[in-house]
Amino acid sequence: MRKRIKRIVAFTLLGLPILILIIAKSYAMVARTVQLNAARATIPTVSTTPKPNQTTTSTEKEEPITSLKPIIDVSGWQLPEEIDYDTLSANISGVIVRVFGGSGIGIDNNATNAKGVDKSYKKHITEFQKRDIPVAVYAYVMGKNVKEMKEEARILYEKSAPYKPTYYWLDVEEKTMDNMDKGVEAFRSELERLGAKNIGIYIGTYFMDEHSISIDKFDAVWFPTYGTDSGLYEEDPHTSLEHDLHQYTSQGFVDGFQKPLDLNRIATDKDIGSTYQKLFGRKPSKDMQEKKNKLVDSLFFFR
């Protein structure tokens, strides 16, 4: 028992100086913190609220956009009464509306009148614009000669321009005249003459090569390549030509419309944010961006 007491006394005598040092150091740190806080209080602050007519700047680098909600394309074949515009708008980032279905149709049907004008384009455009969805337009090209090609361009522009679409697209899928390159250029140049600023073309690479159709003068290009058409992205277009969009399936679905639609994605080698801004005139909002690891693509449906 006596030996144990002596050990305790020894440990106490040795530990006391160490304890005193620790307490002294802690006190010094507290005092230093108080001093620093007092100094900070004297530093003037700068308001982050911009003055009138003054823009703010940020030194933080914006994170790149890695995915978007679908971009859809609708026509008279997608009947307005079959669309839940609220739900559909909440699940997309943009829409391309068909305005003209091609000349020479000659008969009235559910989607177009006898002159080829889409029956639902006004309803589609206004409903999506009311919900702040950016809208582009397209025409299915059917002109049989240069005169008809120019007339189709005029119809597309005159029907669309009041709505200020972000892009005018030509959907070129059928051979309707011997020199298709001449006809397509007649359509494009007439749109440009009328005042259209952004003009794009949808065309298959095989059809383009077969008919020697030049795409050099167009502001944007998108190509279809489906793979097995499984409803999923499988492969890129078999071309080295620069393009902005890729149609990769005809069997996609988006909440708000219960029938299949074509799905498209911004080209693999393109920046999503800047390409979207190019096609729709503004940066995509955060609501339009999908979370990572979700299936994200753009939507189009053509006649």
Q: Average pLDDT in the 24-51 region?
A: 46
Question: What average pLDDT score do residues 71-95 get?
Answer: 93
Say which residues have a Cβ less than 8 Å from residue 216's Cβ, sequence separation at least 6.
none
Please state the CATH superfamily assignment of the domain spanning residues 71-280 in this structure.
Glycosidases (3.20.20.80)
- Tell whether the torsion through CA atoms of 14, 15, 16 and 21 is positive or negative: positive
Higher pLDDT, 27 or 45: 27
Distance CA 258, CA 282 (A): 29
Q: What is the dihedral of CA 202, 207, 213, 214, to 10 degrees?
A: 60
pLDDT digits (tens, 9 = 90+) for 127-156: 999 999 999 999 999 999 999 999 999 999
For the cut 60, the answer to whether the pLDDT of residue 249 exceeds it is yes
Identify the CA nearest to 116 among candidates 93, 81, 143, 97: 143
Give domain limits for the chain.
71-280
Q: Is 239 exposed, middle or buried (0-12, 13-18, 19+ CB in 10 A)?
A: middle
- Segment of 15-19, 50-54, 274-278, 288-292 carrying the highest mean pLDDT: 274-278
What is the structure's pLDDT at 260?
86
Task: Give the three-state DSSP class for 252.
Answer: strand
Q: DSSP states of 82-137 as a string?
A: G--HHHHHHT-SEEEEEEE--TT--S--SSB-TTSBBTTHHHHHHHHHHTT--EEE
